[in-house]
Amino acid sequence: MQLERLLQSQGFGSRKQCGRRIAAGDVRIDGVVCDDPCAEIDSGNSQIEIDGVIWRYREKVYVAMHKPAGYECTHHARCYPSVYTLLPEPLVSRAVQTVGRLDADTTGLLLFSDDGHFIHALTSPRRHITKGYRVILKHDVDDCFVRRMANGVLLRDETSAIKPLSVTLTDAKTLLLEIDQGKFHQVKRMVAAAGNRVAVLHRLAMGGLSLAGDLLLEEGEWRYLESAHLDRLGYNV
């Protein structure tokens, strides 16, 4: 692939902007400056360095973030900064999108990609991807509340009760909840329908991919997902 096209595909600006950076000597291939925008590069096997930072060519990107509280999952955030401000510019420029959304006050596992097929596969209601949450409740509960949740709760605008896949009480205020739908504010609405309020919400896992077990990300950190992670999500590239 031509070097300027390669940089453009990776989010480093328009073809013209990439050409200028290459001609200015900002780009090294396998450790050697390459100032020819039209040089043919083996995208899969070359080491690409831009302004001293090594980038691996990726045809599509798959990213996991440990979302902190106080960030909105939109590009044009209104009350809080956008989660996209936590990603490097080239990823934003190549138009990665969040895979579903978390509320501004929710923390935990958030995925991004520029692969529309992947986003659809993980968010389609027909695929029933499991989402695991830790829910800290406002008021103490007992087994009766857990049974109410487990039996299913009727949400406004729904015609049938929504049942979690599992619900476990770990102390008087903490629930572990697994759901396989992705309705708007679903966890908060389910808890409200069962007679309580969510104080703190954290997404622990999606499919078989767990934030603590597989990704080891601190709040605000992100990383690329590799094929083993995609396997855990049941997705084959």
Q: Give catalytic residues, as residue numbers.
A: 103
Single out the residue of 109, 149, 201, 206 in contact with ligand URA (rule: CB under 6 A): 201
Binders of ligand URA: how many residues, by CB under 6 A? Answer: 8
| Residue 27 CB neighbours (<10 A) | 26
Q: Is 188 among the residues that bind ligand URA (CB under 6 A)?
A: yes
In angstroms, what is the minimal distance from the CB of 87 to ligand URA? Answer: 19
Q: Toward ligand URA, which CB reaches closer, 74 or 186?
A: 186
User: What is the rounded CA–CA span in Å between residue 165 and residue 59?
Assistant: 35
Report in angstroms how near the CB of residue 154 gets to ligand URA at its nearest: 16
Q: Classify residue 106 by burial, with Cβ atoms within 10 Å: 0-12, 13-18, 19+.
A: buried
Site string for ligand URA, 49-88 (x = CB under 6 A): ----------------------------------------
Contact assessment for residue 122 and residue 191, using Cβ atoms and an 8 Å cutoff: no
In this chain, which stretch among 21-29, 99-107, 158-166, 225-233 interacts with ligand URA, using CB under 6 A? Answer: 99-107
Separation between Cα atoms, residue 12 and residue 27, nearest integer Å = 11
Query: Interface residues for ligand URA in 141-180 (CB under 6 A)?
Result: none
Q: How far apart are CA 192 and CA 104, in angstroms?
A: 18
Structure tokens at 148: 């109410």
Stretch that binds ligand URA, among 9-17, 161-169, 182-190, 214-222 (CB under 6 A): 182-190
Of 105, 106, 113, 194, the C-alpha closest to 146 is 194
Minimum CB separation of residue 224 from ligand URA in Å reads 23
Which residues contact residue 144 at a Cβ distance below 8 angstroms, ignoring those fewer than 6 apart? none
For position 185 contacting ligand URA by CB under 6 A, the verdict is yes
10 near ligand URA, rule: CB under 6 A: no
To 5 degrees, how large is the angle CA 164–CA 170–CA 173? 90
Does 134 bind ligand URA (CB under 6 A)? Our answer is no
Looking at 3, 63, 102, 215, which residue binds ligand URA (CB under 6 A)? 102
User: Distance between CA 63 and CA 110 in Å, rounded?
Assistant: 8
Interacting residues toward ligand URA by CB under 6 A: 102-103, 106, 185-188, 201
